[in-house]
């Protein structure tokens, strides 16, 4: 079963850094949705991978 994890950041630069970090850990580009207008990153992953993704997203100081 898949889970969608959403985090909001305070800059477009943070979005880019998050995306690069996720790609570097092996997350497929198709699983990462970057919404620059709302400064959000959405990641669709299996529920078993969710804790690792939450940790990666947290490194970049989300505002939510």
Residue 32 CB: number of other CB atoms within 10 A? 17
CATH class of 2-58: alpha beta
* pLDDT, tens only, 26-44: 999 999 999 999 999 999 9
Whole-number pLDDT of residue 64: 78
* pLDDT, tens only, 1-33: 999 999 999 999 999 999 999 999 999 999 999
Whole-number pLDDT of residue 14: 97
The pTM score is: 0.90
Q: How many CA atoms lie within 13 A of 14 on its CB side?
A: 18
Between 9 and 64, whose confidence is greater?
A: 9
Whole-number pLDDT of residue 20: 98
Domain borders along the chain are 2-58
């Amino acid at each position: 079963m898949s889970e969608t994890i959403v985090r909001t950041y305070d800059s477009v630069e943070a979005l880019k850094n998050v995306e690069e970090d996720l790609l570097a850990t092996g997350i497929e580009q198709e699983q990462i949705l970057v919404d620059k207008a709302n400064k959000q990153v959405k990641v669709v992953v299996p529920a078993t991978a969710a804790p690792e993704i939450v940790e990666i997203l947290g490194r970049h100081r989300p505002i939510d």
